[in-house]
A and B are shown apart, each in its own frame.
Chain A
C-alpha cells in the first residue's frame, strides 16, 4: 500500500461561510510552507498563520505544504479542520489539539430543568453554532447523526468537540445526538470529556443500549476525571422501541427525558406522516405514559415546516394536551413560538398562584394539609401549580414579585 502523502478537510466554494478548506501535503525536507487565501487576511492573517504553525508544531509536522481556503472560519473551526486533515493523513495519530475551554460556557444542568425547546444544529455546519444560544432555546443539539454525511462523520466529531469547549451557548443545555449504536459509542470520547450535558441516543430499542452508552460514559468520565452529570435522552423511533418505551425510559437513573422521532417510526410501521397525526397518536401516547411512569420528561418530535408558525403553535398546544413538555426545533424562529405555546394560560396562572400561596401559608403554620377555601389540595396539585408558576416566571408572564400583586 502506498503511503498517503496528501489529505484534505473542510468545506470550499462560493457559498461557504465561516468555514475553511485545508490540504496538507507531506513534503521532502524544506520546512512548512503555507499558501492559499483568506477572506479575513487583512484582519486575522497573522493570527491564522500563527495558529497553523502552532498546530504543525503540535502534530510534529516539520516538512509539509499547507494550502488554506478560508471563508472566515473561527479559530475553533480552523483547529478542527486542520486536525482532521492531519488525522486523515496520519490515521494512527491520537493526539488531540484542544483549545482552552471557554469559561463562560461551563455551567451545570439539572435532571429536571425546563426542556421546552431543543434546537437541532447540524454537527458539521459550524456557521450555525455561534449565534444559536442567542435565540434562547432551553437546549441546543449538536447533531452527529442524520444531518451529517457519512463521509464527514469524522469531521463532525471534531467540530462538535471543539464547539462544546469554545462556543458560548448562553445558558442553553448542551446536548449531542450521537450516531445509532454501535457507531454512537465511538462518538462518546469526543463529547464526554468536553462539557456535554445530555446525550441523545437515536433509534434506541432496548434498555441494554442505554446501558451500553452509560457504561462507556462512566468509563470515559473516570478516564478524563469528568465531574459534571451527564444525562440521557433516548429517542423512540421504531415499533419495537414504542413497545419497549417504559423499559427504555427506566433503563438508567440518568435518563432525563424520553423523546420520539416520527419520520423513522412512521416508515417502520409502513405508513406516512400526516398533519392530523392519527398514525402516531398511539406511539406518542406511549412515550408520554412510559416517561411519566419512569418519572422522566416526555418530549415531542420536531416540527418541520419552518414557515408555518401558526401550525407550529397548534402542534405545540396539541402536544401539551397529550402530556408532552417539550418540542424539537429545526429553526431558531420556532423557539419563541414553542415557549409561548407551552406557557401556562392566564387561567392556569391565576389558579396556580392561589394554590401556591395556600401551600406556603400552610407550610408557614406548620400544617400538614393544604387547603384552599373548603377544598383540600393534594400534593401533585401543588407540584403542578409550582411548575406553572415556574413556567410563568420563565416566560415573563409574571415577575418575581407576583406574591405582592
Chain B
C-alpha cells in the first residue's frame, strides 16, 4: 500500500482491501462514465406462484442464498441502537462457520459492539459503513483485519450503483412484512418509521432476505420495500428493543450554551434572508439542531412565514411544524421518535424518502442542493472551514458520516457547534480527519461567535449590521486556545498504518484514519 497526496492535501492509500482507489480530485471534479451496476436477471417462475416466500429460519435463508466465505452482507440501521437482528445475523453466520465477511451496514451503533468478537475471530473481515463507539475504538487501535471504509448515506448508494460494492446478500429488518416480501417500517411493534436505507440493497443485491417480527397477510401496505425484489422472508420473535429504535420523545437540549447556539442559528437564518415564504431547511438530530427549529418556528410565526418543505430525520418538533401549517411537507429519511412514526403513518404530506431521492450522486439531480439551508454538527472544524464528523481530536473514530457530507450541498450549510468541549478545542488549524471540504461549509456558529466563510461575500454583506457576534474564524480559534491553555497537540498516530478511509460522495478517497498509538 502506497500513500498518495490528494487534492485536499491529505494522504490516502492507492489501494485498500486489494482494490485500487481514486484519490479525491476536488469537489465536483470526479465524474465516472459508462453504465451503472446491474442486478442479475430473475424470473418470477422461479418463485412460489402463491407468493409465499417464507423460510423457517434465518439460517435456512442464508443457506438458500448460498452464503460463503468472503461475501458482502448488507444491513440497514433503521432499528438504530435497538437492533437485535444484526447481532443475531452474525451469531448465525458464525455458527455456520463462514469467514471473512465484508459487513456493509448503512450505519452501526453502540449495540453492535457484540460484533467485536466476530471481527476478532475472522468471521467479519472489515466494515464498510460506519464505525461508531466501541467499533470505532476497536478499528482505530488497528484491530480490524481489513481497512474500514466510511461513506455517507449518498455515498453508499453511489457505491452500490456504480458497482464499487456488490452486495451478495441483503438482510432487511422489516417492522411489518407480508409473505411476498413487501415491507414497511410504519407499523408493527418494532416500527421505525421507514426503511429507505435498505432500498438500494433490495434492488441491487443478488439475494434479498426480509426478516420481520410482524408478518401480515398479503398485501403489506404501504410497501416501502417491494416484494418483487425479495427472495426469502423470515419470521422471528423480535427485531429489537423498540424503546431504543425510536425514543418515546426527543427532548430539546437543556444546556444554556447549546440553546444560545440554537438561538444564533435561528437569528442567522432569519437575518440572512433565508427564512422567507416557500423556503426549505434540514435539521440534524443533535440537541442543538432540534432546538433551533423551535426558535426558528417562533420567528416564522411572528413574520407569517411558511416553509415549502423541511428535511428530516423527523421528530415531534418537525411534526408540529407540519401540523400547524408552517410547512407543506416533511421529506423524511428516518424518524427519531414515536410522533415521527405516527405522522408518517397518518399524514400523506410526511413523505418517506431514501438516499436515492435525497442524496444520490448518480441521480439526474440532487435534492440536497435544492435545500435552502442545512444545520449540521461536527466534531471539529478548522480555520479553512474544513470539518470532521467521524473522529475526535484524540484520533479515535467515534461517529459515522450519515447524510452529513451530502447535506453540505445545501445553499447555505451551517455547522452549529460548541467552540470547545471541556478542554477540547473544536476550532483547529487542521482537522484530525477531513470529512467535508471547507468550500462547502458556509457558516460556523458557536456560542463564542459566528464565522462566515470569506467566499460567501453575499452573506457577509447581508449580516453586516447584525447584532450577531460575527467574527473571523481565527479570532474564535484564538479565544478558545487561550481558554484551553494553548493550541492542542496532535494525536500520536502510526502514519504507516491506515485503519480506515473516508470516502467523498463521489467514491474518491478524501482522507485516511491512522492507527492511534496507545
Contacts and interface: CB of A to CB of B under 8 A. Distances in A.
Interface residues of B, number: 25
Contacts of B486: 44, 47
Contacts of B448: 134
B483 A40 contact: no
Given A18-B422, A39-B422, A74-B485, A134 B260 contact: yes
Nearest to B482: A102
Given A18-B422, A72-B423, A42 B256 contact: no
Interface in B19-33: none
27 contacts: A17-B422, A39-B422, A39-B423, A40-B394, A40-B424, A40-B488, A42-B393, A42-B489, A43-B488, A43-B489, A44-B486, A44-B488, A44-B489, A46-B489, A72-B423, A73-B423, A74-B483, A74-B484, A74-B485, A131-B256, A131-B257, A134-B257, A135-B256, A331-B256, A332-B257, A332-B260, A333-B259
Nearest to B423: A72
B471 interface: no
Given A75-B485, A134-B447, A135-B256, A42 B423 contact: no
Given A45-B489, A134-B448, 12 more contacts: A40-B488, A41-B394, A42-B492, A44-B484, A47-B486, A51-B485, A74-B423, A102-B482, A127-B422, A134-B260, A332-B256, A332-B260
A20 to B, nearest CB: 10
A43 B447 contact: no
Interface of B: 256-257, 259-260, 393-395, 421-425, 447-448, 467, 482-486, 488-489, 491-492, 516
A127 B484 CA distance: 13
B260 A396 contact: no
Contacts, number: 69
A99 to B, nearest CB: 10
A71 interface: yes
Nearest to A19: B422
Interface in A37-92: 39-47, 51, 71-75
A130 interface: yes
A195 B455 CA distance: 42
Q: How large is the interface on A (under 10, 10 to 19, 20 to 34, 35 or more residues)?
A: 20 to 34
Contacts of A44: 423, 484-486, 488-489
Contacts of B483: 74, 130, 168
A43 B260 contact: no
B260 A72 contact: no
B256 A43 contact: no
B489 A135 contact: no
Contacts of B447: 131, 134
Contacts of A134: 257, 260, 447-448
B424 A43 contact: yes
B423 A40 contact: yes
A118 B291 CA distance: 25
Residue of B394, B424, B485 most packed against chain A (CB within 10 A): B485
Nearest to A77: B423
A257 to B, nearest CB: 25
Interface in A133-192: 134-135, 168
A215 to B, nearest CB: 37
Contacts of B256: 131, 135, 331-333
Interface of A: 17-18, 39-47, 51, 71-75, 102, 127, 130-131, 134-135, 168, 331-333, 396
Contacts of B393: 42-43
A358 B467 CA distance: 30
A47 to B, nearest CB: 6
Contacts of A45: 489
Contacts of A43: 393-394, 423-425, 488-489, 491
A102 B467 CA distance: 26
A17 B492 CA distance: 24
Contacts of A332: 256-257, 260
Contacts of B467: 396
Contacts of A39: 422-423
B166 to A, nearest CB: 38
Given A134-B257, A134-B448, A331-B256, A42 B395 contact: yes
Contacts of A51: 485
A331 B485 CA distance: 27
A377 B256 CA distance: 44
A46 B488 CA distance: 10
Contacts of A71: 422
Contact of B491 (A42, A47, A396): A42
A18 B424 CA distance: 10
Nearest to A166: B483
B425 to A, nearest CB: 8
B11 to A, nearest CB: 20
Contacts of B482: 102
Contact of A72 (B259, B395, B424): B424
Contacts of A135: 256, 260
Contacts of B259: 333
Contacts of B485: 44, 47, 51, 74-75
A50 B447 CA distance: 30
A131 B479 CA distance: 12
A132 B418 CA distance: 14
A236 B516 CA distance: 58
Residue of B393, B424, B491 most packed against chain A (CB within 10 A): B424
Contacts of B423: 18, 39-40, 43-44, 72-74
A75 B488 CA distance: 13
A39 B394 CA distance: 9
A192 to B, nearest CB: 25
B81 to A, nearest CB: 19
A42 B423 CA distance: 11
A104 to B, nearest CB: 8
Nearest to A306: B254
Nearest to A170: B448
A21 to B, nearest CB: 14
